[in-house]
Structure 1
Amino acid sequence: MSRVVLTRVSPMTTIQDAGRPGLFAHGIGASGPMDRAGYALAAATAEIPCGAAIEIGPLGLDFTYHGAPLATGAAGGSFTLTVDGDARPWPSRIDLVEEAKISIKPGPYGNYAYLRFAAEIGVPVVLGSRSTNATVGLGGLDGRMLAAGDELDLDELTDTPIAPIRPATAAPGDPIRFVWGIHADLFSAAIRAAFTASGFRISARMDRMGVRLDDTESVFADARLLNLVSDAVVPGDIQILGDGTPIVLMRDNQPTGGYPRIGTVIDADLDRFAQLRAGKMVRFEPVTVAHAHRISKWKP
Structure 2
Amino acid sequence: MSAIITITRAGPLTTVQDAGRFGQLRHGISASGPMDGVAYRLAGALAGADHGGIEITMAGIGLRLQSGQCRVGLAGGRFDARHNGVMLDWPGAVSLAAGDELTVMPGTVGNYGYLRFDGAPVLPTIMGSLATSSGARLGGLEGRPLQVGDVLELADAAGPAPQAVTARQAETGPIRFVWGLHADLFASPVRQRFVTTPFVISRQLDRMGVRLTDAGGVFADATILSLASDAIVPGDIQILGDGTPIVLMRDHQPTGGYPRIGTIISADLDRFAQLRPGTDVAFSSVSVVHAQQILRSQSP
**What range is the shorter-chain TM-score in?**
over 0.9
Unaligned runs of 5+ in 1: none
Q: Superposition pairs for residues 258-269 of structure 1, below 5 Å?
A: 258-269=257-268
Structure 1 stretches of at least 4 aligned residues deviating more than 3 Å after TM superposition: 157-163, 165-170, 297-300
**Hey, what's the Cα distance between the residues in 1 that align with 2:246 and 2:40?**
24
Q: TM-score, normalised by structure 2?
A: 0.94
Does the Cα contact within 8 Å between 1:51 and 1:160 map onto a contact in 2? no
Cα separation, 2, equivalents of 1:237 and 1:166: 31
CA contact (8 A) 2:225 2:239 kept: no
Q: Which amino acid in 2 is paired with 1:7?
A: T
In structure 1, C-alpha distance between the alignment counterparts of 2:169 and 2:216, rounded to whole Å: 28
More off after superposition, 226-235 vs 61-70: 61-70
Which residue of 1 is the match for residue 17 of structure 2?
A: 16
The answer as to 2:115 corresponding to 1:110 is no
Match of 2:177 in 1: 178
Query: Which residue matches 2:216?
Result: 217
Check 1:161–1:224 CA distance in 2 against 1; reply closer, same or farther (3 A cut).
farther
Residue-by-residue CA offset, 1:54-87 (whole Å, 9 max, x unaligned)? 0001110011112223111011111111110111
The 5 Å alignment of 1:186-201 reads 186-201=185-200
- Whichever residue aligns with residue 13 of structure 1, its letter is T
Which SS does the other structure have where 1:197 is aligned?
coil
1:134 CA displacement: 2.0
Matched with 1:38 is 39
Partner of 1:202: 201
1:41 maps to amino acid? L
**TM-fit CA distance, 1:166:** 11
Structure 2, unmatched stretches of 5+, are: none
Aligned to 1:28: 29
Aligned equivalents of 1:65 and 1:159: distance in 2?
Answer: 19
Q: Spell out the pairing of 1:68-107 with structure 2 (5 A cutoff).
A: 68-107=68-107
What is the identity, as a one-letter code, of the residue corresponding to 1:291? H
Distance of aligned partners of 1:166 and 1:264 in 2 relative to their CA distance in 1, 3 Å threshold: farther
Correspondence for 1:131: 131
Cα 1:108/1:170, change in 2 over 3 Å: closer
Tell me if structure 2 keeps the 8 A contact 1:50–1:162. Answer: no
- Cα pair distance change 1:97/1:157, threshold 3 Å: closer
Find the aligned partners of 1:242 and 1:285 in 2 and give their Cα distance: 24
CA-atom RMSD in angstroms: 2.0
Matches within 5 A, 1:28-67: 28-46=29-47, 48-67=48-67
Q: Any conservation in 2 of the 1:50–1:117 contact (CA below 8 Å)?
A: no
Q: Percent identity?
A: 50
The size of the alignment, in residue pairs, is 297
TM normalised by structure 1 equals 0.94
Rounded Cα–Cα distance in structure 2 between residues aligned with 1:20 and 1:262:
26
Corresponding position of 1:289: 288
CA drift of 1:160 comes to 6.7
* Residues 91 and 167 in structure 2, CA contact (< 8 A), matched pair in contact too: no
Q: Distance in 1 between matches of 2:93 and 2:256?
A: 41
